Structure 1
Amino acid sequence: MEALANPDCGWFYRCSGRMYDSIPGTPIVYWVSKAITCAFKRGLPVSSVGQPRVGLQTGENARFVRLWWEVSLDREWFDCPSIEESAKSGLKWFPYNKGGEYRKWYGNNDCVVNWENDGKDVRDFKGSVIRNPQCFFKPCITWSKISSGSIAFRYKPAGHVFDVAGTSIFAEHGRLAYLHGACNSSVILKIASMLSPTLNFEVGQIAAYPIIIDEDKEEIIENLVDENRLLSKADWDSFESSWDYVRNPLI
């Protein structure tokens, strides 16, 4: 009643239903700014700039997945360049991207998956679902499908298999860095809260995020992203839980 009597109270909103037409799924987000609705009209969806993909479902992680320090280093390869090389290597355990806690830029490299002989044991298991194996071992940016807070995107260099909770985006090197910077920006975080209010970040929602390509700023953005990745990696590697740990930085 107060808002009807005083539309200038500060919390009374009036907008046309046509405003939602440019936003995927037409969510009722009456508080969204004109700049964000304009971004959906001007920008390209993530799916036009990169390839968001859902990955492997082993069917039984207890059978096929380990923490990297639980198995022999002699049977692990952390930076395998391709799925063909993994098959030829005769090795068994490879990094497995399965989401994890909130962390930006780099990290959450804890698990390995049995992908010996091109994943024969997993492929033969009746409960497994193999999705997008052509993307395995390629560099990507990834996010945790389910979060207790905001979404965060991390870089995974070549060598990883990814699963349904560590859904990922693939693109060529420079464009992947640009996407990484855009997806970790405050603008995309705002858009994520609109499209994923339940904090369940599905690949289809991320595929619809608008990306505005500014060619004049691409090099600057790529350099800033590389710097943030290096800082985050240095932080991750300062703990013994990292396979690239050398020594405590305080020593």
Structure 2
Amino acid sequence: MQFQGQIKTYPLSSATMTQSELESYLELPSQSSLTLITSVLGATSNWLALHLLRRTLKSDETIEPAAVLLVSFLRDEYFWEDAGQRLGLNLPRFKQTKQYGFLDGLSGLFLEEKLSQNTNCDQTLQSPDLQYIAKKIRTAIKTLKEDNEKKLLLILDGIDVLLAAAKDMDPFMLEDMIIDLREEVHATVLTLSADLPLVASLQTPLERNHAAFLMSIAHQASFIMNLRLLDTGIAKDVSGVIRITCKESHGEDRYKLEDKEFLYFIGADNRVKLFERGQQ
């Protein structure tokens, strides 16, 4: 399946690997705002989160860099550092300069048998208890704030996995924890799953809880970036569709961004192609 349109191609190692139309949507969100990134199986959000990390951590002539705390329940630190390196983003260096922090919500909770003596317990979550998780995140936030005066962006990657993996997890308690954490940082970004089986049938407690949580977060979010597969199926030259919905101005003193939809392709040659529907 081929699509007509002007395709712009950027090497991941290039400083302009993200199309200019998309870059403006990745700038640091406004104070106290909530950004929601949803994904489905086959159209994951890690590539977009990496571009967001890069845009936030790296400075240019017009944008002041911010600090970032990434809490990931789906991917370990090695994944993020390796993927970031291919993007030209040296996360270990930002970690050394106290501009970046990471909490591993995967290894300690779900891969306990693989933990080694070299595992950093300070940055590894080892219990699904929400009070424990909130305390660990607050400690990490406090540490980053003490080490620099930059605005702090909190990214919670796949925290909805706790609804399935933690015993008796209440979606409203999870939501309350996120609300409390949002008060500690400049802005918050959540990546959540929006697969149809989780949000459509509502037959099981997990499906009902996940749907309620996702809908509530979407209602609160001022900015939503939705990743999905093509409605017509898989295409060899398109990885998926990104739909961007803006409920309010994204960023302080910036013009109001418009709703947008892009097709995107991530190739094996480490190049990203982005183009807008209907572009000639």
Aligning the two structures, in what range does the TM-score lie when normalised by the shorter sequence? under 0.3
TM (norm. structure 1) is 0.25
TM-score, length-normalised on structure 2? Answer: 0.23
Larger relative strand fraction: 2
> More relative contact order in 1 or in 2 (CA 8 Å, sep 6+)?
2
